[in-house]
């Protein structure tokens, strides 16, 4: 019996080529466009994406349906996104969206439609013998970082066809088969905000919570409109020019609403030898093992050698071989052994000594 795969068709080239490859492999392929955001002032390109998805489905000769997960997204992702920013930390909504929407709500809906698998255009791989999550073969596009929090049981129901290919080959396939989005640019920025509109969007929900900008010696250099509008390592948008090197955010004094900045890209305040993580998720067992790994504290970072141990007050401590720059609470650290993604957690705080 032919197995049914439901592909999340986003309007981008990666999901389109994924659907094509699965059809070539003999699967019964259905496409689904997921609408995860709606409302006034919508900054993402939902209508354009839907048009592209419709053209892709027509070109490939597959049915296309639309699922509306906007309420699920609001409840499970966006509400937490706002709560984390209110606390002055920087969350990663893409990781939470994968965990709660794409590989949970979407998977559950597809199972109701008797799908054997779901598929997306992520650059990652699933090892056939044990379902382990592997890095995508294109090191510049590997997206396993965004999938570490997806339960292994869900990953075993997923197919990632483009994870075996470099991006250049994906675009070449799209051109050869006449896909309308073969040369469409990859999306950037947070999906419901879009590039370059972050502070304006967030301000509509969180307003202004001003405070002082201070240097490591405690000197006041200016004022900010809210700690939530800034992230560790940020250079632009601080409004504190002057002589010498540029200023960078190295920390936040939440109690006093102070934004902490230091001058120079390599200032010691920007670096820390380790971190504490919580909200951990293991892809290799019931809980994370202590021991040696490599890790990424942000997408596309080079793997960094580290050792993971149990922290005194719960969670895990991670100590790196080399000090890491701009460790950002709220972001995720993802752990690897070779090409295998072992899991990860949310950064709680940097270890400064």
**Distance (Å, rounded) from C-alpha 263 to C-alpha 240?**
11
pLDDT at residue 41, as a whole number: 47
Letter string b/e over residues 79-112, b meaning 16 or more CB atoms within 10 A of that residue's CB: eebbebbeebbbbbbbbbbbbbbbbbbbbebbee
Q: What are the residue ranges of helices labelled H in 25-134?
A: 46-60, 70-73, 79-86, 93-97, 106-112
Sorted by where each starts, the structural domains of the chain and their CATH numbers stand as: 4-176 (3.40.50.620), 208-265 (2.30.30.280), 271-351 (2.40.30.10)
| DSSP-assigned letter for residue 228 | G
pLDDT at residue 221, as a whole number: 96
pLDDT at residue 77, as a whole number: 92
Q: What is the pLDDT of residues 279-299, one digit of tens each?
A: 999 999 889 999 999 999 999
Active site residues: 97, 191
* CA atoms 108, 114, 116, 122: torsion sign: negative
pLDDT at residue 150, as a whole number: 97
Tokens at 280, concatenated: 């951990």
Q: Do the beta carbons of residue 277 and residue 346 sit within 8 Å?
A: yes
Say how many C-beta atoms besides its own lie within 10 A of residue 138's C-beta. 18
Q: Do the beta carbons of residue 163 and residue 141 sit within 8 Å?
A: no
pLDDT at residue 195, as a whole number: 55
pLDDT at residue 197, as a whole number: 67
300: left (phi over 0), alpha (psi -120 to 50) or beta: left
- Taking 70 as the pLDDT cut, the residues of the chain under it are 39-44, 188-197
Report pTM: 0.94
pLDDT at residue 46, as a whole number: 81
Given the DSSP bridges, would you call strands 64-68 and 28-35 parallel, antiparallel or unpaired?
Answer: parallel
| DSSP-assigned letter for residue 206 | H
pLDDT at residue 256, as a whole number: 95
């Amino acid at each position: 019996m032919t197995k049914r795969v439901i592909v999340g068709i986003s309007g981008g080239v990666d999901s389109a080529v994924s659907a094509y490859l699965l059809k070539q492999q003999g699967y019964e392929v259905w496409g689904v466009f997921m609408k995860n955001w709606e409302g006034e002032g919508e900054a993402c390109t939902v209508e354009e994406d839907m048009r592209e998805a419709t053209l892709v489905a027509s070109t490939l000769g597959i049915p296309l349906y639309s699922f509306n997960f906007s309420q699920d997204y609001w409840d499970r992702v966006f509400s937490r996104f706002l709560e984390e920013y209110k606390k002055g930390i920087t969350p990663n909504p893409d990781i939470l969206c994968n965990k709660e929407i794409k590989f949970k709500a979407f998977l559950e809906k597809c199972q109701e439609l008797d799908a054997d698998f779901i598929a997306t255009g992520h650059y990652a791989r699933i090892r056939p013998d044990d379902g382990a999550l592997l890095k995508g073969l294109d090191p510049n596009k590997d997206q396993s970082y965004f999938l570490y929090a997806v339960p292994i049981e869900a990953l075993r129901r997923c197919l990632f066809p483009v994870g075996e290919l470099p991006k250049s080959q994906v675009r070449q396939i799209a051109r050869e088969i006449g896909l309308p989005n073969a040369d469409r640019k990859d999306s950037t920025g947070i999906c419901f905000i879009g590039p370059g509109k972050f502070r304006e969007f967030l301000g509509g929900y969180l307003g202004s919570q001003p405070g002082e900008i201070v240097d490591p010696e405690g000197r006041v250099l200016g004022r900010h409109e809210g700690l939530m509008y800034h992230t560790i390592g940020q250079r632009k948008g601080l409004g504190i020019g002057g002589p010498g090197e540029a200023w960078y955010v190295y920390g936040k004094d939440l109690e006093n609403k102070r934004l902490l900045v230091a001058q120079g890209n390599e200032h010691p305040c920007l670096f820390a030898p380790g971190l504490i993580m919580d909200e951990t998720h293991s892809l290799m067992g019931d809980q994370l093992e202590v021991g040696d790994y490599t890790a990424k504290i942000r997408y596309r970072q080079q793997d960094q050698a580290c050792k993971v141990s149990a922290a005194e007050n719960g969670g895990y401590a991670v100590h790196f071989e080399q000090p890491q720059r701009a460790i950002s609470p709220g972001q995720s650290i993802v752990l690897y052994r070779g090409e295998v993604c072992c899991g990860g957690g949310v950064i709680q705080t940097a270890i400064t000594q």
